[in-house]
Structure 1
Amino acid sequence: MPAERLMPTTESADLIDLVRDIAGKELRPRVDEAERTGTFPREVFRTLGRTGLLGLPYPEDVGGGGQPYEVYLQVIEEIASAWASVGVGTSVHALSCFGLFHVGTPEQQERWLPEMLGGELLGAYCLSESHAGSDPAAMRTRAVREGDEYVLNGAKAWTTHGGVADFYKVMARTSDDGGRGISCFLVPADTPGLTADNPEQKMGLMGSTTATVLLNDVRVPVERRLGEEGQGLSIALAGLDAGRLGIAAAATGVAQAALDTAVAYAKERETFGRAIIEHQGLAFLLADMAAAVESARATYLAAARLKDLGRPYGRQASIAKLVATDNAMRVTTDAVQVLGGAGYTRDFPVERYMREAKVMQIFEGTNQIQRLVIGRHLAR
C-alpha cells in the first residue's frame, strides 16, 4: 500500500499524486525488462525532466521547482519505490547541479542551469577514483591551467550515468596542497578527450549505468570552473550532505516496496489453514519491517527540515543515510525470507530489492564513513 504522508501543502500533496501516477504509467511497466537487460532508461529521465521532477529542490527563477527538501525527498522515495535506478539517478542529477547553483556566477547559472534543471541535460558527478573513494583528498586527476583553459587528465571511477550523461561535474587537482588543492569543473560530455569505459557489471541497479570516466587532455575553458581554485573539495563535500539525504530517501523507497510485496504475499499465502500473516512469528517480522521503514522516513525528514530552515544538518544527513540504508538492507533481506523459496526467485521483485539495497550502504560515503562523520560531530 502507498506510504502514508503528511505533506506540508496542498500543492505538495498534489505533486505526490502526480509522481505516483507517473510511477504507475511510466516506471513500473518498464522496470523488470530494463533491469534484466541492463538498459539505461534515458527517455524516462526526459519525462521526469519535462514534468519538472528533476529540478524540484532548486528555485523557480533558475528553472527549478521551488520545493523544500522535505517534499523533494518524498518524491525521490516514491520514484525509488517504483524503480530504484531512476530514484538514485534523480538524486545524482540534483547533486550534479549543486555546485553550479551554489557557487556559480550569475552568468554561469543563466547560461547552463535552466537546461540542466529542465531535464534536457542529464548530469553526472565525478569525485571518486579507484584509489580514492572514501578519501577524495587523495585524488590524482589533475587540471593544469594553460592560458584561458584547463587541461584535465585522469580517471574518475564509479560514475553514475558515466557514458550516458550530457555533462559531468568533475573534481580535479589544481595544486599539490592536499584537500585544498582540488577545483571543480563543469565539463560537457562531448568535449574531446572525455570518454567512458564499459559499464561496470554490478549485482544490482542494472538500469543505472556506472562507469569510469576517462579524461585524456580534456580542454575546459576557465569559465567552466565553478568557484575559485582550491574550492572544489568543499563544494563536493557540501553537495554530499544533500546527496546523502537523496540516497536515504531512495533506500526508504526500496524498503517500502519490499514491505508492500511481503505483506501482500503474506495475506495470500496459506499454511495450516490460515494466511501466513496470521501466524504470530511472521506478523512480528512484518511489524519490525514496518517500524524500520517508518523510522527511516522520519529520520531523513527530520534532517530535511533542518536543511529547509537553513540550519546545519551534516550530522543528521549522515545519520539518515546510515539508518535508512541499513534498515533497507534488513527489510529487503527479511522480505526474501517472508516469501521463502519464492523470494529467492526472479518471479518476485524482492530479490532485486535486496541487491539494490546493498549498494546504498556503500555509495555517497560508506556507512563506516557515516559513523566517522557522526563521531567527529559528537567530538566537537
Structure 2
Amino acid sequence: MENLAARLSWRMEHEPLHPLISQKIHWQPDLSFRPFNYTAAPIIENMGSTAGTSSVVKPSPPAFVGAPMEKSSKASLIKELVALGLLKAVAAPFERVKLLLQNQKDIIKSGRLHKPYNGILHCFATTIRNEGIFSLWRGYTAMTMVHVSATVIRFGIFQYTKNLDDTQWSYTRVVVSSYVASAATQFLVYPFLYAATRMATDVKTIGSNTGDRQFNGMIDVFRKTLKSDGIVGLYRGFNITLGELVMMGALSKGLNPWKQHYSYILRNNFLSRHMVDFGFWISGNMATYPLDTVSRRMMMTSGSGTVKYKSTVHAIGQITKTEGVKTFYNGAGAEILACAANRATLLLMIYVADVIRDAKEKQY
C-alpha cells in the first residue's frame, strides 16, 4: 500500500509532463447511482470563486455537461462507456441491496417478502439463498443503460456547445442552461431508472405462492406498467428528483470552498485527496438521500403496487406517519458501500492504466 501511495504521489508531482488518467477523465457524474444530481455542480465549482453574476465565460466550459475533458473523439467516449460498465458491475450487488432495504416496506405490503431484513448482511444472505448469487445483478442492465444513455446525451450536448465559440456565456446563463440540460437528460432516461428499480425490488420468495417473479425483464416492466398506468407510470417520482437536483446543486456550491481548500492542502497526496473528495461526495449523497427514498417509493406504486400515494407530499406524510423518519435512510449504508466499491475500482483502474503507460514509455 505504501508503494502504491508513493507511486501515485510521484505521479502527482509530474502532472505537467505526465497527466494522470484521472485528470483526463471527469468521472464524478457517474460515481453516484443517482446520476443526475451532480451534472450542474461542476460548472458552479469551476466558476464559483471567480465569476460574478455578470461574468462571461467563452466558450462554454466542458463541465457544462459533465463531460470528460478529452471527449473530442468517439474513441474516448467508447472507452469511458466500457469503463463505466465495469464500474457499475462491481457496485451492482450493493445497489440492489440498497434498493431492497430502501423499499422493503412496500415489498412486504405486496406480499412478496414475509419479514423485513435485519441489515445489509442479512439482505445479502437472504437474497443469495432464495434467488442465487447472480440475482445480485438483477436490474444491472437497466441501471447501466441509465448511465450510458446519460453519458451519450452529455457527449452530444458537449459536441454541440463546443462549436458555440461566439456565444457569450454569462454565469447565470451557464447555470440555468446546465440545470435545464440535466433535467432534460433525466427526463429521457428516467424510464430506465424506473425499470431498474422495479426489477431490483422484484423479490422471488421460495416455498410460497409468490415464487414467480412479477417481471420477466426490462421490456416486461415497460409493457405491464404501460398497460396498467400508461406513460405516467414510468415517470412516477420524477418531480421529486428535480428537487433533488436543485438541492444537490446548492449543497455543491456551499461545500465547494471547503473542498477546494482541502484539495489544495492535499494536492501532492493522491490517495488523501481522493478520500477527502469521497467524503464530500458522501455528504452530499446523504443530505439528499431522503428525496431519493421518496422517489423510489413512488416508483413502487405503479402497476400492481398495493400502496398508492396521491402525490409527493402525500407520500412523505404517509411514510413519516406510519414508518417514522428513520425509514427515509433505509439502505443508506449499502449506498455508501456501493460508492466506496466504485471509487476503489476507479483508483485501481487508474493505477493499472498508469503502469501500462509507463511500460510502453520504457519500450521507447
The verdict on a shared fold, with TM-score over 0.5 as the criterion, is no
- The answer to which structure has the higher strand fraction is 1
- TM-score of the pair, normalised by structure 1: 0.25
- TM-score of the pair, normalised by structure 2: 0.26
Tell me which of the two structures has the higher relative contact order, counting C-alpha pairs closer than 8 angstroms and 6 or more residues apart: 2
- The answer to which structure has the higher helix fraction is 2
